Amino acid sequence: MTDSAARQEAGVPNAEQVAQYLRDNPDFFVGQSDLLRDLTLPHDSGRAISLVERQVHLFREQRDTLRHELTELVDIARQNDQLFQKSKRLLMQIIEAKNLNDMAAVIDDSICGDFGLDAASVILFTDGPLPQAAQGSLHVVSPAVAHKRLGNLLDGGRAVCGQFRESERAFLFPDRDEPVTSVALVPLRNHELVGVFAIGSCIPGYFDQSMGSLFLSYISDTLSRLLPPMVQRHLVALPLTDIAESR
């Protein structure tokens, strides 16, 4: 007969039964100070320690873990607050922009200066009479060309982050001496697709699909609402001869 069978026949509880009993009776050791001192547990150092010492050690480990998690949460909150302030400044400047060129200059200054990124691009999709030459972060292409070059990146309304193909990066950020290697792109929609807003970094893997895009979405939502009336004002400001020649 094995030791475990003999113990069971003698009515001695096994380890699982003892553990379950202690779970069901968490106040068992109340008033059992002598028993607590007699119980010993192995420690990482190799020496035996009492159950009380072990509990204190576990509480300290839990405290250190919680303190580390709290520090991380505070750091994340601080970063989010900084992102919010930068996004707020950018949005206020975009709202105050008087025309498309002013808006492009504001985005360039903010994304590259305030946010510390390497590139920004706002690409408008239109066949209308808008400036065809790139002006800062502003580019104008026909919807057909955009769909041909960007394809399914234009599907949906959420940000897409990643390294993208070389041809896509070159289309989004043309005429750069240092190539962009990582991109975050979000379509601009106002009832229909009106363009894209993209930011880029020369650091590979800077943007990836696991990153949050809340602040990028705030900026793109604002652009989606401001661009159509701004484009309309630009058309109204064009001389009739310019409109006729552009067609």
Q: Express each pLDDT in 196-227 by its tens digit.
A: 999 999 998 888 876 667 788 888 888 888 88
Which two tokens mark 236? Answer: 């109204």
Same-domain check for residues 111 and 224: yes
Phi/psi for 141 (5° steps) reads -140, 165
Same-domain check for residues 183 and 234: yes
Higher-pLDDT residue of 153, 49:
153
Q: Express each pLDDT in 152-185 by its tens digit.
A: 888 877 888 888 888 899 899 987 888 899 999 9
Domain CATH for 122: 3.30.450.40
The rounded distance, in Å, linking the Cα atoms of 141 and 138 is 10
Largest Cα–Cα separation, the chain: 107
The rounded distance, in Å, linking the Cα atoms of 181 and 169 is 7
88 domain residue, yes or no: yes
* Domain total in the chain: 2
Same-domain check for residues 122 and 161: yes
What percent of the chain has pLDDT above 90?
Answer: 11
Q: What 3-state DSSP class applies to 98? A: coil
Same-domain check for residues 157 and 63: no
Same-domain check for residues 112 and 44: no
Range of the domain at 198: 99-246
Mean pLDDT for 67-82 is: 90
Taking the alpha carbons at both ends of the chain, their separation in whole angstroms is: 100
Which one-letter amino acid corresponds to residue 12?
A: V
Model confidence, pTM: 0.66
Average pLDDT, the chain: 79
Phi/psi for 186 (5° steps) reads -135, 130
